[in-house]
């Protein structure tokens, strides 16, 4: 029984970290309309930043400052934000699909950097030995799991509260205004580029927090954690849950992460031995089908944005015509 509770604690920890990242994407995409195709880059910046600042020293390698946990985590968040700021300056003036490709490319470039810069990131071997928060003072492994879950939930709550505050402030209304109609917003004296940059940076900082939390749980990070599959997962969470709605984003994160792990669990037990090799492929096909079906039949997600008129009727038309000007 304690085992099940222990696993559930862990599951919620991972789902919570994914939910934090999804909230970051929700700010960028749901509230601002920024197509970030490189979520994993900001996750990775947070993870590596936290590790470099808080991890132990390695011979022949930069970093290993062994800073206190909160400082290291904060540094990871700042690194992710700084990366987003540079990326934003370079790419935010681009069309949305160019932005998606550029950010996707940023993620590929960051993975390349992590894989090859042995002096900075340890190369493909990754970095190890992050002191997990409070582990030294907590005897029980189970209790550590609970404490860590509480940390993750606290960060999640903080991010949620912050985003809610933000989107209901004049800043948030301005963000939605430029998402809906950039020209009108511009006419009202808002600077779309500056607002978008802020949204990208804040969203990326949140993703970086997710990366920092992840690395402080596993105590290890390697380029293998920077593969594009994470970007895909987070997008799936947001689309299924409902973009523009924080509750939807969190629900999507829990559901998709649950489906992802549970289907692996179920497939290894249900699929006959002769087809075990195919289980992974079948799982991806199921997930792909789920995404496509969702977009076909419920494109607004399970919990759609709560604005008087649903955006995917009027706005889609508006976007369509504005694209063809």
Closer residue to another protein, CB minimum distance, 169 or 261: 261
Contact 245, 257 (CB under 8 A): no
The C-alpha torsion from 93 through 209 and 223 to 229, rounded to 10°, is -70
CA distance 124 to 246: 36
Binders of another protein among residues 286 to 315 (CB under 8 A) are: 287-296, 298-299, 302, 311-312, 315
- Tell whether residue 125 is a contact of another protein (CB under 8 A): yes
Handedness of CA 315, 204, 258, 222 (dihedral sign): positive
Binds another protein by CB under 8 A, chosen from 199, 222, 245, 246: 222
- Tell whether residue 121 is a contact of another protein (CB under 8 A): no
Q: What is the DSSP secondary-structure string of 37-67?
A: S-HHHHHHHHHHHHHHHHSPP-TT-S-----
Residue 16 tokens read as 């919570």
Contact 214, 18 (CB under 8 A): no
Place of tokens 């991010």: 159
Which window, 4-12, 20-28, 60-68, 76-84, contacts another protein (CB under 8 A)? 4-12
Closest separation between CB of residue 86 and another protein, Å? 11
Binds another protein by CB under 8 A, chosen from 57, 68, 71, 97: 97
Q: How far is CA 136 from the centre of its chain?
A: 29
Binders of another protein among residues 176 to 195 (CB under 8 A) are: none
Closest separation between CB of residue 291 and another protein, Å? 4
Nearest Cα to Cα of residue 286 among 246, 256, 307 = 256
- Tell whether residue 229 is a contact of another protein (CB under 8 A): yes
Nearest Cα to Cα of residue 280 among 292, 266, 293, 297 = 266
- Tell whether residue 118 is a contact of another protein (CB under 8 A): yes
- Tell whether residue 198 is a contact of another protein (CB under 8 A): no
Binds another protein by CB under 8 A, chosen from 88, 122, 212, 304: 122
Phi, psi of 220 (to 5 degrees): -155, 145
Closest separation between CB of residue 193 and another protein, Å? 12
Place of tokens 């970086």: 208
Which window, 3-11, 19-27, 67-75, 154-162, contacts another protein (CB under 8 A)? 3-11
Binders of another protein among residues 233 to 272 (CB under 8 A) are: 235, 239-240, 255, 258-270
CA distance 27 to 202: 8
Closer residue to another protein, CB minimum distance, 64 or 162: 64
Binders of another protein among residues 141 to 160 (CB under 8 A) are: 141, 144
Closer residue to another protein, CB minimum distance, 34 or 81: 34
Which window, 113-121, 161-169, 173-181, 196-204, contacts another protein (CB under 8 A)? 113-121
């Amino acid at each position: 029984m304690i085992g099940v509770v222990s696993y559930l604690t862990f599951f919620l920890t991972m789902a919570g970290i994914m939910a934090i990242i999804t909230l970051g994407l929700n700010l960028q995409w749901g509230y601002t309309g920024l197509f970030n195709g490189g979520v994993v880059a900001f996750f990775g910046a947070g993870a590596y930043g936290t590790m470099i600042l808080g991890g132990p020293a390695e011979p022949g390698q930069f970093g290993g400052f062994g800073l206190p946990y909160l400082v290291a985590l904060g540094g990871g968040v700042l690194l992710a934000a700084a990366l987003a700021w540079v990326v934003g300056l370079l790419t935010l003036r681009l069309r949305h699909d160019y932005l998606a490709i550029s950010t996707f490319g940023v993620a590929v470039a960051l993975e390349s950097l992590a894989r090859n810069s042995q002096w900075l990131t340890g190369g493909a071997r990754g970095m190890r030995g992050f002191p997990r928060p409070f582990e030294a003072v907590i005897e029980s492994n189970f209790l550590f799991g609970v404490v860590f879950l509480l940390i993750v939930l606290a960060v999640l709550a903080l991010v949620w509260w912050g985003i809610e505050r933000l989107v209901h402030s004049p800043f948030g209304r301005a963000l939605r205004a430029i998402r809906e109609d950039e020209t009108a917003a511009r006419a009202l004296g808002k600077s779309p580029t500056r607002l978008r940059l802020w949204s990208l940076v804040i969203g990326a900082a949140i993703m970086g927090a997710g990366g920092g939390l992840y690395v402080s749980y596993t105590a290890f990070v390697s380029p293998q954690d920077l593969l594009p599959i994470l970007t895909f997962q987070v997008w799936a969470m947001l689309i299924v849950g409902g973009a523009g709605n924080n509750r939807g984003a969190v629900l999507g994160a829990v559901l998709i992460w649950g489906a992802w792990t549970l289907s692996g669990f179920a497939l290894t037990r249900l699929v006959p031995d002769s087809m075990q090799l195919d289980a992974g492929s079948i799982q991806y096909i199921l997930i792909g089908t789920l995404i496509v079906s969702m977009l076909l039949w419920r494109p607004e997600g399970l919990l759609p944005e709560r604005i008087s008129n649903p955006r995917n009727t009027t706005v889609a038309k508006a976007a369509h015509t504005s694209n063809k000007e």
